[in-house]
Amino acid sequence: MIEKIKSNLLAGIATIVPLALTVYVLQVTLEITYWIGGTVAEPLKRFVDVTFPGFGLLSSLVGLIIVFLALFIFGALARNVFGKKVVGWFESIFKKIPLIDTIYGTTKQLIETVSGSNNDSFQKVVYVEYPRKGMWTLGFVTSESTNQANEEFYHIFVPTTPNPTSGFFLIIAKEDTTPADIDVEEAFNMIVTSGIVGNHKNSIVK
């Protein structure tokens, strides 16, 4: 009973927290963008002493551009030797805090996978018959293994829709899978949008 409660609690955290963090980050980004745009535009407004239709929108766009430039510069710094050490130091702190390490690790892995910045997360995308024969779903190959008879198996992560931060881990024989002929990013787009966005032709053979 306790284990079931714990499992459900962790599943709820893995589902809600990344979504809440995404909404929060978007909200903060918009607020920062508006603040920066107003800060930059205010001296200009005083200098020219005139406003025109769309002036507020223009200031917001200026703020958005500055935010993107800041993210680009921060990303460039984080990729050099010194930046990696600083990021690694913060990550080591997060990993020592219970619950925070799970939230941070899950969110980071998801963002890296979707953005393509970590190409080693998933090796390829395949179709598997799941949860029963005749029903197909997308799975991400994470690793491979063999049994004592040297039969080859895929380790597959099958994400849930529309929240790919939770899912199921399967070990399945290679011959029971079908190559999806799409990349990881396209597969994630299909999962998040419940199949609305993505390739509308598949390689499934009945």
Q: How confident is the model at residue 156 (pLDDT cuts 50, 70, 90)?
A: very high
Q: How confident is the model at residue 49 (pLDDT cuts 50, 70, 90)?
A: low
Is the pLDDT at 43 greater than 70? The verdict is no
- Tens-digit pLDDT profile for residues 76-101: 666 666 666 766 777 777 777 776 66
Strands 136-146 and 152-159: antiparallel
Portions of the chain given CATH number 2.30.30: 124-192
| Cα-Cα end-to-end distance for the chain | 41
pTM, to two decimals: 0.49
Q: Which two tokens stand for residue 168?
A: 């199921």
Element (H, E) at 100: helix 100-115
- Cα 181 to chain centroid distance, Å, stands at 21
Which CATH number among 3.30.450, 3.30.710, 2.30.30, 1.10.287 corresponds to the domain 124-192?
A: 2.30.30
> Can you tell me the distance from the alpha carbon of 174 to that of 154, in angstroms, rounded to the nearest whole number?
6
What's the pLDDT score for residue 160? 83
- Tens-digit pLDDT profile for residues 13-31: 666 666 676 677 777 777 7
Q: What is the mean pLDDT of the chain?
A: 74
Of the listed ranges 109-113, 114-118, 156-160, 169-173, the one predicted with least confidence: 114-118
Q: By C-alpha distance, which of 172, 58, 68, 195 is closest to 126?
A: 172
Beta bridge partners of 169: 157
> Can you tell me the distance from the alpha carbon of 143 to that of 157, in angstroms, rounded to the nearest whole number?
10
Q: Which two tokens stand for residue 162?
A: 């529309």
